[in-house]
Structure formats: C-alpha cells, structure tokens
Structure 1
Amino acid sequence: MLGLMTTDFNLDDSSVEPLSKEELLARVAFGDELAFGELYDQIAPRVLGLVKRLLIDHAQSEEVTQEIFLEIWQTATRYEATRGGASTWIMTMAHRRAVDRIRSSQAGRDRDSKIGIRDLAVAYDHVAETVEVRIEHERVEKAMSRLTQLQRQAVSLAYYGGYTHSEVAGMLKIPLGTVKTRLRDGLIRLRDELGVTS
C-alpha cells in the first residue's frame, strides 16, 4: 500500500475481537498497512459522507477523502487518545479539510471575478490562513460549549460525525422529530453565538 512495515498479527482472524479505531490508529502510527486498511474500511464511508454533505460534488469529495486518509497515514503519531476518540479526531480532520476546500474554491472564484483572469499566480499566505482557521475553530468550539449537552450531542453527530438525522435518532434512541428540534435549536443558538446574520 504505502510501502512501510507491517506487524505480524492478522486483522482478518474471526476468532479475535476486532480492533477499535483507537487501536488501529495506534498501529498505523507505527506504519502498519494492514491496520490502515482496516481503519479505512471501518470509517471511510462516514468520512466520504461528511465531506460529500459539505462539498456536494462527488469527484471533489472523493479527492478530499483521499487527502484526508493520506493525512491520517502521515500524522497518526500525533493522535492522542487522552484528548478524544479516533473517530472524533478523524471526522474533525475531515470537516476541516472539506471547509478548507470550500474556502479555497470560494477564494478562487472571488479572485477570478475581481481580477477577471483565471489561474493568476497570487502569493498565498499560509501563516495567515492557518491563524484564521485556528481562530474560527476556537470560535466554533466556544459557541458549541454554550449549547445544551443534548443540542451539542445532536449537532456533533449530524455535522461532525456525518450521520443522517435518522441515524442520529437511532443512535440516541429518540424520535426523529426530537433530533430535528435539537438540531434546529442548536443551530439557531450557534448562529446567535457566532453573530451570524441570516
């Protein structure tokens, strides 16, 4: 796959409990290709679902999903289980990548319409972009902390987890209407906290 070492265990052995995403990610950090393949099989559909929900375009969504898994392979050593679950870490990365792609596309369209020339070479300030993304992430985290626990749970599953409303209802064992109400109220509160005007 990526040409690095593999360990001597068999992920396909049906007599062994399947490894958690956290365990798989720990093995990926040591260059284990089999663990990476298993992790991909377990979470790729959710990652693609989240990315596609944000980007709409299927081809772009697949491309961004590939970038996300390359980033997982390259940065697995940075994952800290004490700071949250592997799924949350991966889905947060996926959300960030998709938002970055949206911003990049929008910035390109804005630049083209202002200048009127496509593919104009413009110096890009990575430091400023990184700081802007970090500040925006902190604003959203602060706003999320002001939601009720029930609202935060529903919003996190639907928008960061990439689950449908029906899936969220099933996971939380609550009616679909309750999920929709929590999401609506949570998003209204987030909008107010972030100062977004409709």
Structure 2
Amino acid sequence: MGREFVEIFDEWVHTYDDSVSGKDEEYRDVFVKYNEILQAVADATIGPVVEFGVGTGNLTEKLLARRLEVVGVEPNEAMRKATAEKLADLTLIDGDFLEFQAGIKPQSFVSSYAFHHLTDAEKAQAFKIYAEQLPAGGKVVFADTLFASESAKKEIVAFEQTRGHANLVEDLNREYYTTVPVMEKLATDAGFTVKLSRMNNYVFLIDATKK
C-alpha cells in the first residue's frame, strides 16, 4: 500500500520544498513547472476533496485557495506535523491511498507525486475504491510520473545513470512507476473516462471522471 516508503519522507520533509523549487539539480527535471502542475490539479478538482500524500501542503494550499473543503491524508508523521504547522485549520488524518477514513462524501480524490508508491495491482484496487465512493461526474485528479512505455522508462533510467544521478535512478528502479497505457486501462476498467496530459518530461496529469 505504499507504506514501505513512509520512512523515506522522514528525510524528505527537510528537503522536499528545496527539491521542488529546483534547488536540487538531480531532481530538477522531475519538478519542472511544479507550480503549474499543482495548479492544474487544483483547477480540475471539484469539492469536497480528499488529498492523498499531502506532504508539505503545497497542493493543499492551492486547493484551499479555491475555497474547496479538503481532508488531507498523509501516512508520514513528520510530514503531517510540518503541514499542520503550516495549515493549522486543515483536517489532516493518518492514512494512505487504500485505507483512509475521511469523514466526508468526496467529489474528488487528488494527489501529486505519490501514486507511484502503489503497485499496478494496488493502483487498480485504489481506482475501484474511488469509483465506489464517488458520484457520477466525480473526479480522480493525480499528477505523477508516467512513462510512454517500458522501453521509454529504461531509456530515461539509462540517461539519468549517464548524468550520475544515482539517487534518482534508485528511486526510478525501486518505486512502482507505470506506463500511460497501463494507467489508462486501470482507470477505464474501474468505470472512469480518463484524459492524460504531459506536464513535463516525467509527469502527466491524470484527469479521470466517473461515468
């Protein structure tokens, strides 16, 4: 359920905002147009909304700026603490993509840079859970790293190796980054129409609407 990666964020909580702002050269390409990506998620969202993997609250702030009711779901205690200090009025709970008790009837489920913590089988399970909880017209809006194909993934991993980006390569090999065709199938099989838009060389906007 992605919980095997929770402890990684004990470290990331101190560096995440620097990385997304482009200060970490190794991850710079992953976070190109970061604010635009988060805004695209927020703009496609209807409330009330459940946000998974709140992290340091960057997407949350954009959702709240649209005056949406937000419940944040974050499995990492250090991240929850950091976000609670920044956004004191936010309802923030311990949970993950598959196990959560939001206490609202959501119109949208959203996330940024986190869905890859689930295997493809778990992603399929997640979409089914969301389909059960959403009304017709409800949304799943995720921004996450996807690859056009498995061969494209291998090519970019090899490219990052030549750049000496060992930490990024480790991430790409360790976590469960999937492909565009697989993501489309997982969403459509669960009863969503899905639109995928490339946001940078790594990230796609996944905009799925329940039929």
TM-score by length of 2: 0.25
- Please tell me whether Structure 1 or Structure 2 has the larger radius of gyration of its CA atoms: 1
- Indicate the structure whose relative CO is greater, using CA pairs within 8 Å and at least 6 residues apart: 2
Q: Kindly indicate which of the two structures has a greater share of residues assigned to strand.
A: 2
Q: Kindly indicate which of the two structures has a greater share of residues assigned to helix.
A: 1
